[in-house]
Structures are given as structure tokens and as C-alpha cells.
Amino acid sequence: MKDKNYTILFEKYLRNEASADEVAQLQAIMHHDAKIQAIFEDELRYSDSSMDENTRHKLFQNIRRQVYKEKEPRFLQKSWKKALYWAAIFILPVISAFSVYYYFTQKQQIVNHPTEIIARYGEKAEVVLPDGSKVWINSGSKIIYDDAFNRKQRPVFLEGEACFEVATDKDRPFVVKTKAMNIQALGTTFNVRSYDDDEQAYAVLLEGKIKVSASGQERILTENQRATFNKNTHVLTTDIVRSVDFAQWRNGNLYFDNQTFEDIARTLSRIFNVDIRFASDTLRSMRFSGTLGMSGIQNALDILSLTSPMRYKMDGTTIELYHRK
């Protein structure tokens, strides 16, 4: 079935207007469609990490059966992408329900107490995890781990950017989970960037070896390789980089690899806790490669002004970028 027909059918289901035959069609499509199955599998990765593969498989099958019984959001979606977005939203309560079921059927009385470390805009944080692994957390980022850490696995949830120096433990895989990708490591150093407002998420390996998983795709990285996941196309690619450049922020520098001024503005906003606006849209798509020091926002903007037609005006913590005529 073409995506257009799929979208119409899915929208009818979300509005509770689909007939029994149409629901059966949707179930059949879901059974054979790798895209939506990948979404289910990604959501399962955020469930309890101590589940064995057999139980995880059973949960996946139950979710596929039960998802059509859940109460849907009453929104009309106009695109495939939005339809999948709402699918992910109403899958979450089902996963929670089956997670509770799993705990009761296994007669486990485990209470997880999450630990959250936040680096707000204009801040950075450094933490040593219970296993001895070191984590450097960049501005506008946070990591979360709970009592499940250091049992069968060492799962850490990341929003934003962080650099990990992982303590070796072959019996307990170290896994970094983000909304866009998962990274598994065994005794290694790597940098992960996955901000919600960025179009791409990436992992860069400095030492050792890691496995990167995203949307049903996997890549094994060796030193000086980068895995990049495009959130729009859902494609995972790899390339060769100078990995130490991507961790320069730990030492007080900002490295940009052919990034747009729009991307750079978001990064500077997080690092220096300022509001950057564009008076000229032509600047947004311009690109810059190089390293900026973090001695101050004005110094960073001065360097960008010297290498581009960009100019700026500052009013307290509000900055306006405009194109030099």
C-alpha cells in the first residue's frame, strides 16, 4: 500500500473512524512494514533493561496486538511523519502497562531510584558513575541512570551531549540510550550528541569500539569514526573524522565541522545562555568550519564576523545576527 493510502487509513484509526476491515488492514501493514516495527523496537529499548530477549520479544508481540485497543489522540494528521509521531505517543502507555505486568509475573520487588545530572545552559558538569566510568556533560544536557545500572547492564539515558570514558566490564555492557540512537560500548571513550532540536544525532569514537543502533540499523565503529543519524530521513551513516576535535568542548573549545550558522547559533545559545536571533535568513544556511574558544560570547562572534559577512548587535543577553551589505 502506498504511503498516502496508509496515512489516510492511519488517520481514520486515530479518529476512531476505522472499520473492522480497515483495522485488520492496518494490522497487516504493521506486520510487514519495517518502518513502524522499528518504532516499536526503539520504544522497547527504553523499557527495563533487565528483560531477557525472550520476554522482550513477547512484549513486542503483545504491543502489536494491544496498540489498536488503546484510546487514540483526537488529532488529524496530514503526513506520514506525524502519523508515526502519534503512534509512538500512544505506544508509550502500553509499554508502561506491560512493564508493570512483567514485574508482577516475575514476582520482583525492585524499586528504581533515578539519578539525574543536569548541565543547564551556560554550565557543564562532570560526574563519576558507580562503576567508575567518567562522564563530561555539555551545556543544555542531562544524563539519567537508576538502580538497574551495574546489574546485568549499565544503561545511561542522555539528552543533549556528553563524552563518556567507560570503565571496562565485559560482563556488564555499557549502553547510552538517546531518543535517536543507542550506543553500546565495552571499555572505550566516545562522544555522543543528541539534542532534541538538532536535525542530526551522532556518536564519535575516540578509543576502543562501539556499536551504534538507530531505527533498525547498526554500525560498528572503530577509532576516528563517526556515526550520524538523520532524524528526517531515518538513515544512519558513518564517516572518518578526527575524533579528538569533537571532544574539544571538554577543554574549553568549540569545534564546528561544516555546520550552518543556524546550528552554530543553537550551540552558542546553550553554551553561553544567550538568546540569538536572525535578522537575515540568508545567514542561517551559511557554513563554518573551525574552532572557537569559550572565553566569551562576544569573542566567539567576533571570530565568526572576521570569517564571514555576519555582523551582530548585542542587547544584554539578546543577540541579533544580520548580513553585512
Whether 48 shows a pLDDT value over 70: the answer reads: no
More confident residue, 51 or 10: 10
What 3-state class would DSSP assign to 229? strand
Q: CA–CA distance from 306 to each of 265, 299, 300, 302, 323 (Å)?
A: 16, 11, 10, 6, 13
Could you tell me the pTM of the whole model?
Answer: 0.63
Question: Is residue 174 within 8 Å of 184, Cβ to Cβ?
Answer: yes
What pLDDT is stored for residue 81 in this prediction? 46
Cite the beta strand spans of 54-120 per DSSP E.
Answer: 115-119
pLDDT in tens, 65-75: 544 444 444 44
Residues 6 or more apart whose CB falls under 8 angstroms from that of 249 comprise 124, 138, 161, 163, 255, 271, 294
CATH architecture of the domain formed by 252-323: 3-Layer(bab) Sandwich (3.55)
What pLDDT is stored for residue 310 in this prediction? 92
Nearest alpha carbon to residue 226 among 216, 214, 236, 215: 236
pLDDT in tens, 159-173: 999 999 999 998 899
Question: Is residue 126 within 8 Å of 137, Cβ to Cβ?
Answer: yes
Q: CA–CA distance from 288 to each of 29, 225, 263, 264 (Å)?
A: 44, 21, 10, 8
- The sign of the CA dihedral 319, 322, 324, 325 is negative
Element (H, E) at 185: strand 182-185
Provide mean pLDDT across the span 94-117: 54
Whether 154 shows a pLDDT value over 50: the answer reads: yes
Domain assignments of the chain as residue spans, ordered by start: 3-105, 115-245, 252-323
Residues 6 or more apart whose CB falls under 8 angstroms from that of 17 comprise none
What pLDDT is stored for residue 178 in this prediction? 96
pLDDT in tens, 200-257: 999 999 999 999 999 999 999 999 999 999 999 999 999 999 999 999 999 888 899 9
pLDDT band at residue 34 under the 50/70/90 scheme:
low
What pLDDT is stored for residue 298 in this prediction? 92
Burial class (CB in 10 A: 0-12, 13-18, 19+), 280: middle
What pLDDT is stored for residue 190 in this prediction? 96
Q: How far apart are CA 268 and CA 139, in angstroms?
A: 10
Nearest alpha carbon to residue 276 among 320, 311, 227, 308: 320
pLDDT band at residue 1 under the 50/70/90 scheme:
very low
Burial class (CB in 10 A: 0-12, 13-18, 19+), 78: exposed
Q: How far apart are CA 189 and CA 253, in angstroms?
A: 19
Q: What percent of the chain has pLDDT over 70?
A: 68
What 3-state class would DSSP assign to 201? strand
Q: Are strands 275-278 and 318-323 parallel, antiparallel or unpaired?
A: parallel
What 3-state class would DSSP assign to 140? coil
Whether 279 shows a pLDDT value over 80: the answer reads: yes
What 3-state class would DSSP assign to 51? coil
What pLDDT is stored for residue 92 in this prediction? 45
Element (H, E) at 305: helix 297-306
What is the identity of the amino acid at 30?
Answer: M
pLDDT band at residue 324 under the 50/70/90 scheme:
confident
pLDDT band at residue 93 under the 50/70/90 scheme:
very low
Q: Please check whether the domain covering 115-245 is classified as CATH 3.40.120.10.
A: no
